[in-house]
Chains A and B, each alone.
Chain A
Amino acid sequence: MDRNQSHRQVATMKQSLFDQGYLDHEQFNQLEELQDDANPNFVEEVVTLYYRDSARLVHSIEQALEKSPIDFNKLDSYMHQFRGSSSSIGAKKVKAECSLFREYCRAGNGEGCMRTFQQVKKEYAALRKKLETFFQLARQAGPVDRARRPK
């Protein structure tokens, strides 16, 4: 596959992530704007940091959900942070599920929280898989020629 074809494949995959609602195009594009020759893998590095740091939060939420009675304030605080981190990389579906979770927190609905958290984890894992494929493709394609970088 020639380089142009590879780049087209990367662009197509990225667009599909936007179209399917996995990624917020504005937020993700803002991260991509920070990627340059000095930091050619910046977005991948940021996403890697996101998954590394948020694993701790996911674990904290799991533990908090197992306690009885549930400390909804603590849960809400964890999820506020998780939602914020997810928003920073444009993780749209994850962010939406986090918002729903917080509504259940505020309503003191433990069952709703548990159910929604399963969805949070599902979207979190699904996005991770898609981004791993995307970054693998992007690495194989190599850096985009700046003169021809699409706006």
Chain B
Amino acid sequence: MAQQGGSSSSGGSRILSGGSINVSPMKPLASLKVLVVDDEPMIRTIHKAQLVRAGINDVEVAANGKDAVDLHVNGATFDLILMDLHMPIMDGCQATKKLRAMGVKSSIVGVTSSGGAEKTAFLASGLDDCVSKPFVLQQIAHYLKVPRSPTNPPKYHNP
């Protein structure tokens, strides 16, 4: 399942309520494209609302790793991918490895409440970072501010 987010125009810095962050992105927030990958409709709803509230209007969602990969196979590109770990059909680890193998250079941030060896393996699959679920916007503010340059390798990638 993949859905398109809404659209409107606004850009520049934004102060967010609830533990505010002041983001001055290199790209205007309104022009960022973000993909939320999670099998739980509730989590997709929350994360999408957080991003839209932050000023990001182009938010797509996918219900599992395979749908996320398929979006890319069909030519979609994103500035940031928020990837859950435990999903049916294709989990976050497999999806991240596949996307990196395809040459996808987007920032990919894992979103999981798992810890220990599972989290380590997830990070090593090609993530740039890993945050707890549900994330607080401040945790990913850096990735909204500085989309990863194509020449920078993923932070935790073990080829």
Residues of A within 8 A of B (CB): 29-31, 33-34, 36, 39, 42, 45-46, 49-50, 52-53, 77, 80-81, 83-85, 87-89
How far, in whole Å, are A148 and B111 apart by their CA atoms in the complex? 35
How near does chain B come to A24, taking the closest CB pair, in angstroms? 12
The answer to whether B133 and A84 have CB atoms under 8 Å apart is yes
Q: Indicate with 1 or 0, residue by residue over B103-138, a CB within 8 angstroms of chain A CB atoms.
A: 000000000011000000000000000000110100
How far, in whole Å, are A36 and B17 apart by their CA atoms in the complex? 12
Which residue of A36, A49, A87 is within 8 Å of B41 (Cβ)? A49
Q: A36-B53, A53-B40, A88-B134 are in contact. List 16 more A-B contacts (CB 8 A).
A: A31-B46, A33-B17, A33-B53, A34-B50, A42-B49, A46-B42, A49-B41, A50-B42, A53-B41, A53-B42, A80-B113, A84-B113, A84-B133, A85-B43, A87-B113, A89-B42
The answer to whether A88 and B46 have CB atoms under 8 Å apart is yes
How near does chain A come to B19, taking the closest CB pair, in angstroms? 9
The answer to whether A46 and B18 have CB atoms under 8 Å apart is no
For residue A47, which residue of chain B has the nearest CB? Answer: B42
Chain A contacts for B86, CB-based, 8 A: 77, 81
A contacts with B: majority SS: helix
Which residue of A30, A53, A87, A88 is within 8 Å of B18 (Cβ)? A30
- Known contacts A80-B113, A87-B113; A34/B42 CB under 8 A: no
Chain A contacts for B46, CB-based, 8 A: 31, 34, 46, 88
Among B1-54, those with CB < 8 Å from A are: 17-18, 40-43, 45-46, 49-50, 53
How far, in whole Å, are A30 and B40 apart by their CA atoms in the complex? 18
How far, in whole Å, are A33 and B19 apart by their CA atoms in the complex? 11
How near does chain B come to A27, taking the closest CB pair, in angstroms? 8
- Known contacts A29-B18, A30-B18, A81-B86; A88/B42 CB under 8 A: yes
Which residue of B41, B49, B113, B114 is within 8 Å of A34 (Cβ)? B49
| Top 4 A-B residue pairs of the complex, sorted by shortest distance between their CB atoms | A49-B42, A33-B18, A34-B49, A84-B113
Chain A contacts for B40, CB-based, 8 A: 53, 85
Chain B contacts for A42, CB-based, 8 A: 49
How near does chain A come to B141, taking the closest CB pair, in angstroms? 15
How far, in whole Å, are A43 and B134 apart by their CA atoms in the complex? 15
Chain A contacts for B133, CB-based, 8 A: 84, 88
How far, in whole Å, are A42 and B53 apart by their CA atoms in the complex? 12
For residue B6, which residue of chain A has the nearest CB? Answer: A38
For residue B49, which residue of chain A has the nearest CB? Answer: A34
Chain B contacts for A85, CB-based, 8 A: 40, 42-43
Chain A contacts for B18, CB-based, 8 A: 29-30, 33
For residue A35, which residue of chain B has the nearest CB? Answer: B49
